[in-house]
Amino acid sequence: MSIETDAANNAGPQTLTMGKSMKRKEDPRFLTGNGNYVDDMRLPGMLYMAIVHSPYPHANIKGIDKTAALAMPGVKAVITGEDLVAASLAWLPTFHGFDKQMVLAVGKVLFQHQEVAAVFAETREAARDAAELVDVDYEPLDPVISPFDSMKDEIILRDDREDKTNHIYHWDSGDKDGTQTALDDSEVVVTERIYAPRCHPAPLEPCGCVAQFDAMGRLHFWVTSQAPHVYRTAISLVTGIPEDKIRVISPDIGGGFGNKVPVYPGYVCAIVGALILKTPVKWIETRTENLTTTGFARDYHMDVTIGAKKDGTVTALKVKTVADHGAFDAAADPSKYPAGMFGVVTGSYQFPVAFAELDAYFTNKAPGGVAYRCSFRVTEASYAIERGMDILAQKLTMDPAELRRKNFVRKDQFPYDSALGFTYDSGDYEGTMDKALNQIGYAELRREQVEKRARGEYMGIGISTFTEVVGAGPSKHFDILGIKMFDSAEIRIHPTGTGIIRTGTKSQGQGHETTWAQIVAEELGLDPQNLLVEEGDTDTAPYGLGTYASRSTPVAGAALALAARRVREKAKKVAAHLLEAATEDIEWVEHKFQVMGAPSRSVTMKEVAFAAYTNPGEGNEPGLEASLYYDPPNMTFPHGAYIAVVDVDAETGEVKVRRFLAIDDCGTVINPMIVEGQVHGGLTEGFAIAFMQEIPYDEQGNNMAPNFMEYLIPTSVEAPVWETGSTVTPSPHHPIGAKGVGESPNVGSPAAFVNAVMDALSPLGVTHIDMPLTREKVWKAIRNAEAAA
């Protein structure tokens, strides 16, 4: 991938760093164990907080006795929901504004592991031991575990709400009647219930914080946040502390994947503890707390119906979804998008008409859901349509690649208005798929499959040609808590031609310290090694909405390029002074300012930077810096073609992923090595989601995957060898043509894996198995199919 994309991006002589696989500037810190994470913080007098969790999924709280916990040596305080009611801090707003969430349970608990009390002690161990001594008197109630039971409204879960129903909201998009008419008229209709199981981002570093009030009463809050500025505003709104008296710092973060976007009850409790005890408080959650109480992902039950002509031309798409949001609707979606970007469910195909609707329900499960490495429900949408297209291909006995080719939005149709209202910016779906088919040797693989089938062996080839929508987002549509989803950049160039770059984003492993420097270096002709990137401190960074949903490059990356061009405009005047020419006669050629028509008369940005502080020229403002807030005109639409090749052992149900090829198109590539790393990571997560991971609940409401013994994390032992490649279709509206990439592999790969297994089992008549495709499930599907034959 690197070589090829390097070439594609280095086409012009002007390229200094863009498209080069520069080594990550941040890695020496991480590789030598010198990262600075929240749990590395040690402050004088710091106390530790532990949380008491409910063992019941649904129960009245009849009383809480703190006596034994408070009597333990080293314990300083225990707070409960009633204490927070007294301080008006019992509820948290959720990001999209449909609901609120209890900080500590008041009156009743609504999911197993819900936060019930917080204990503050001198050591982490004392806090945890004392938490076990907090005596809570529960009166168990019948739990509601399935959203299909919840919708009957036989047990109303949320008595704090005025509307006495478990139904949270209805969302729809598209032409309902037109879609039904088109389906009724279709020659072929396929329909399938497809479940995207509840899973969890499970970053290796769980969530945590340190809260400290200084002598002036100012809150310093170190936290594992993907969106520090939003936290500052949210903390101010919840606690009433003026925003200028709050400093939020996200230091190094060990993975986020959407899990570190919401504000969690533990953060509020730590701040309350630091306030009342007048000393710093640290809270670092355990793995079980992370898996059982923080934002889960997915949990969408999707009825997908596709209409088509007999030749495979699609005529209509209908998707009806039931969403399980758990006890509180804490989905981290933009305010106006309760179902996130699910409207991209028409995928890469020309559906003349479509209708998608979704109803969300409360259940006695942990609240969520977060955009786990996807741009707000895009993974669910992509999985639904990519599975649906394969089910259609199977019904028509058509090659799935040919079915896709027949229905792709063509290269010359962009910008393309989808049936559900998105305007896709650019793409070359057929070109990308053809590249993938050639690279993997598709025709040869199909020949091999025929031979194997003749021998009774189950080999499968799965294709996913997905389209994403990333870069939230244009302020006319996108906000969180009312805050528009722009992003920002600030660039200061020092006299010696080095500089500092700050943005409103926050890397959690994506390599922003490298790629942000590359963008600015390219625009200004400076050395990226000497452009320091700083993110995550609300006292210094310009206001931004943070890093998730692959929005950093489409939004902050654009802000950086445009801020750099502002610096260049300013520098041009100084260059004119140095070159004794009129500003209008100065042009920027090959990373230097030169006098038009006189290439020998030129100055470098480094020379101009020095002059900006020492000899700016009469009437020119000294110094060299700029800041910029960027409101994107549209989202960007990355796409890809993924192909999985699997062998299924019919005796054991074991699936071996023999090959996996990912061709990604994220527009202009800044750093091919980082993009490849992002793709490897996302594919490994997608592999785990397809085959290993789920957060199931039993009928009593017990979370059945509360640790890494049950919730399986893929290692290099299980993960296949990834083959990668790229095509480059720049975004026409992004200043450097870049789209996001971090989420594509997680969005596109689950369908490729599942399609491959279903393709392998298609001779048995198996059309669908819900993820995760464990051996047991695959084995059962084979046995059932054999029994039915």
C-beta of 8 vs 719, nearer to ligand CDP: 8
Angle at CA 27, nearest 5°, toward 22 and 30? Answer: 170
Q: Say which residues have a Cβ less than 8 Å from residue 264's Cβ, sequence separation at least 6.
A: 207, 293, 294
Please answer whether residues 781 and 761 qualify as being in contact, where contact means their C-beta atoms are separated by less than 8 angstroms. Answer: yes
Backbone angles phi, psi at 726, to 5 degrees: -150, 160
Among candidate residues 553, 563, 608, 243, the one with its CA nearest the CA of residue 375:
553
Minimum distance between the CB of residue 216 and ligand CDP, rounded to whole angstroms?
35
Q: How far apart are CA 550 and CA 342, in angstroms?
A: 15
User: Do 24 and 511 touch, CB atoms closer than 8 A?
Assistant: yes
Q: What is the DSSP letter of 681?
A: H
Cβ 512 to ligand CDP shortest distance, Å: 5
User: What is each CA distance from 115 to 87, 109, 353, 366, in whole angstroms?
Assistant: 17, 8, 45, 11
Query: How far is Cα 407 from Cα 422, in angstroms, rounded to an integer?
Result: 17
- Residues 383 and 374 sit within 8 Å (Cβ to Cβ): no
Nearer to ligand CDP, 551 or 768 (CB): 551
544 DSSP assignment: -
Q: State the minimum distance, in angstroms, from the CB of residue 485 to ligand CDP.
A: 12
- Least CB distance to ligand CDP at residue 673 (A): 9
State the DSSP string of 83-97.
HHHHTT-SEEE-TTS
The yes-or-no answer on residue 205 being catalytic is no
* Closer CB to ligand CDP, 364 or 553, in the complex: 553
Exposed / middle / buried, residue 607 (Cβ in 10 Å: 0-12, 13-18, 19+): middle
Q: Which is nearest to 521 in space by CA: 540, 499, 539, 506?
A: 499
DSSP state at residue 372: T
- Looking at beta carbons only, is 394 or 746 nearer to ligand CDP? 746
Q: Which CB, 246 or 558, lies closer to ligand CDP?
A: 558
| Shortest reach from residue 669's CB to ligand CDP, in Å | 5
Q: State the minimum distance, in angstroms, from the CB of residue 739 to ligand CDP.
A: 6
Shortest Cβ 226–ligand CDP spacing (Å): 9
Q: Do 49 and 119 meet the contact criterion of CB atoms below 8 Å apart?
A: yes
Q: Which is nearer to ligand CDP, 571 or 666 (CB)?
A: 666
Which residue lies nearer to ligand CDP by CB, 305 or 515?
A: 515
Q: Residues in the site for ligand CDP, rule: CB under 6 A?
A: 510-512, 515, 547, 550-553, 666-671, 674-675, 678, 738-742
Annotated catalytic residue: which of 232, 247, 373, 404? 373
Name the DSSP letter for residue 714. P
Instruction: Choose the catalytic residue: 285, 468, 676, 743.
Output: 743
In the chain, the amino acid numbered 237 is L
Q: Are 548 and 226 in contact (CB under 8 A)?
A: yes
Q: What is the 8-class DSSP label of residue 555?
A: I
Is 298 tagged catalytic? Answer: no
Taking the C-alpha atoms of residue 709 and residue 690, their distance in angstroms, rounded to an integer, is 18
CA distance 267 to 361: 26
Radius of gyration of the chain (CA): 27
Task: Reduce the DSSP state of residue 547 to 3 states and report it.
Answer: coil
Closer by beta carbon to ligand CDP, 393 or else 674: 674
Structure tokens at 527: 């050395």
Minimum CB distance to ligand CDP, residue 667 (Å): 5
Tokens for 442, please give them: 């598709």
At its nearest, how many Å lie between ligand CDP and the CB of residue 605? 22
From the candidates 298, 374, 508, 676, which is the catalytic residue? 374
Q: Quick check: helix, strand or coil at residue 121?
A: strand
Phi and psi for 365 in degrees, rounded to 5? Answer: -135, 170
Q: How far is the CB of 520 from ligand CDP (least distance, A)?
A: 12
Q: Parallel, antiparallel, or unpaired for β 479-480 and 458-464?
A: unpaired
Paired residues of 349 in beta bridges: 408
Q: Which residues are catalytic?
A: 226, 373-374, 743
